[in-house]
Amino acid sequence: MSTTRTRFAPSPTGYLHIGGVRTALFCWLFARKHGGQFILRIDDTDQQRNVQEALEPILHGLRWLGIDWDEGPDVGGPHGPYYQSLRWKWYEEAAERLLASGHAYRDYARTEEVQAEREAAQREKRPFVASRRFIAETDADARRFEADGRKAVVRLKMPREGNLVVNDLIRGPVDFEWAQEQDHVIRRADGSCLYHLASTVDDHAMQITHVIRAEEHLSNTPRQVFIAQALGYELPQYAHLPFVAEPGSKTKLSKRKLAKYLKNREFAQLLEHGRRIADRIGVPADPEAFNPVIVGFYEKVGYLPEALLNYLALLGWSLDERTEHFGRDQLIEHFSLERVNRAPAGFDPAKLSAFQQWHFNQLGTEQKATLALPFLQRAGLVPAPAGGDAERLVERVMAAAGDRLRVAGDIVAFDEFFVPDDQLLYDPKAVDKRLRKEGAADLLRKYRERLATLETFDPETLEHDMHAFLEAEGIQVGQIIHAVRVAVTGKQAGLGMFDALALLGRDRALRRIDRALVLT
């Protein structure tokens, strides 16, 4: 039995899309499940659309997710090169073989002539079929056409009758009528070869056993099967995945429709959450790159790759009706194409956030702090490298924050614990509402005097002492607690008040209260 070999072949024309990485994940899981190899091949045949700068984010995104490749860029392998732009000679040889066997022909029709035939077919409501009026069947034909200023493309000479049945591993038997297929161009007039030829040749050369890809490629299958059979190749097995749909829709998710998706409340909240973190750490909020449809968005704001992998695996696949949380090894153990659904899988921002929260909560405080520390350093709140005291403070804040932290980047929302006391910023509205309220300053001064005498400064002692203060002054907690919070954190909301005081310690808390009293 041959070794299972799958491939992911992205085009370097943009950032790594959620749908694309879901395809890569399923290819990777299938290969790992069956003890095979996962190959990364770069489909850069379209030189006008390729963006070299976009390749590195694709490679980085896969590495961040832990989707490693056995052969491909930066790894090498026995079937390279793994960039299609470096494999032209194999495509040219295949095109010549197809011409020689009569499975392809040189077509000298001009673009406008082909377009006129296409428009006529539309008017007559019939499938467009090339007329083949400008086939160069002999060298004399070619010279005559070229003397007229015509240039040839190479087209497949597709069958005009009969059917092709492809046994798709997800969709079952899929029937294609050959008469519905066009004579597709496989080589342009400038000599460059197109995707259908290149992909088929490379899948054979790289010994791909299973072509697992998005359903949008299902319509490409007949022409690729035709090429493979004409060249005498053994066919791989095909599996076409359901596309990832927009939130609340059955339309394919697109990285170019950000404005539309922001009408979805949960999607808008996901982006706004990320932007708050990005603004604090100085990440440009470029909609091309900083977009929840792009994988890099999640790394930038502190999502766990394990959480994103878990969520992506369930976009179109499930083990059963109950199990939702999977680690990497569990996904490999249980994954199968038989459990992949044919229907579109809707992108649900709230569900993704829930997976992130669950996976984040599985970590210990020290692990969370290790993930959060780089965000504090990028925000200029903790030096790099951080000292022991700074690292311990990060751990203490993480522990106190608990479920308030959904992603590692959320730590920057608690900047009040990391800025020097004399640089703490006070929310003007909070100052007016809480500190300048009648009687608030006097109560705050009295409470400061109590704090200065406390020898133990932990949450339990602080809470007990607050109750004693309330009883002594004959007041309700709301008359003092809000003023204390604003005085020591600059904000109206945040961690529990006694946790916040304990984190700051007595000396820092007293200095901040003194600063706040000046504002009253």
4-26 mean pLDDT: 93
Model pLDDT for residues 304-317, shown as the tens digit of each residue: 999 999 999 999 99
- Paired with 290 in beta bridges are none
CB-based contacts of 304, cutoff 8 Å, min separation 6: 356, 359, 360, 371, 407, 408
Tell me what pLDDT residue 250 has: 87
Model pLDDT for residues 69-114, shown as the tens digit of each residue: 999 999 999 999 999 999 999 999 999 999 999 999 999 999 999 9
Q: What distance lies between CA 465 and its chain's CA centroid? A: 49
- Paired with 287 in beta bridges are none
CA 185/CA 104 separation, integer angstroms: 9
Q: Quick one: pLDDT band at residue 50, thresholds 50, 70, 90? A: low
% of the chain at pLDDT higher than 90: 88
Residue 152 has pLDDT above 90, yes or no: yes
Tell me what pLDDT residue 424 has: 96
Q: Which two tokens stand for residue 123?
A: 């008017």
Model pLDDT for residues 329-370, shown as the tens digit of each residue: 999 999 999 999 999 999 999 999 999 999 999 999 999 999
Model pLDDT for residues 82-94, shown as the tens digit of each residue: 999 999 999 999 9
Tell me what pLDDT residue 373 has: 96
Tell me what pLDDT residue 81 has: 96
- The one-letter amino acid at 400: A
> Model pTM?
0.93
Residue 486 has pLDDT above 90, yes or no: yes
Model pLDDT for residues 467-476, shown as the tens digit of each residue: 999 999 999 9
Tell me what pLDDT residue 49 has: 57
CA 41/CA 75 separation, integer angstroms: 11
Tell me what pLDDT residue 13 has: 77
Q: Quick one: pLDDT band at residue 127, thresholds 50, 70, 90? A: confident
Give the least confident one: 134-143, 148-157, 333-342, 356-365.
134-143
On average, the pLDDT of the chain sits at 94
Residue 289 has pLDDT above 90, yes or no: no
Taken as a whole, the chain contains a residue count of 520
CB-based contacts of 283, cutoff 8 Å, min separation 6: 277, 290, 300
Catalytic status, residue 255: yes
Catalytic residue among 255, 300, 368, 491: 255
Model pLDDT for residues 377-419, shown as the tens digit of each residue: 999 999 988 788 889 999 999 999 999 999 999 999 999 999 9
CA 327/CA 337 separation, integer angstroms: 18
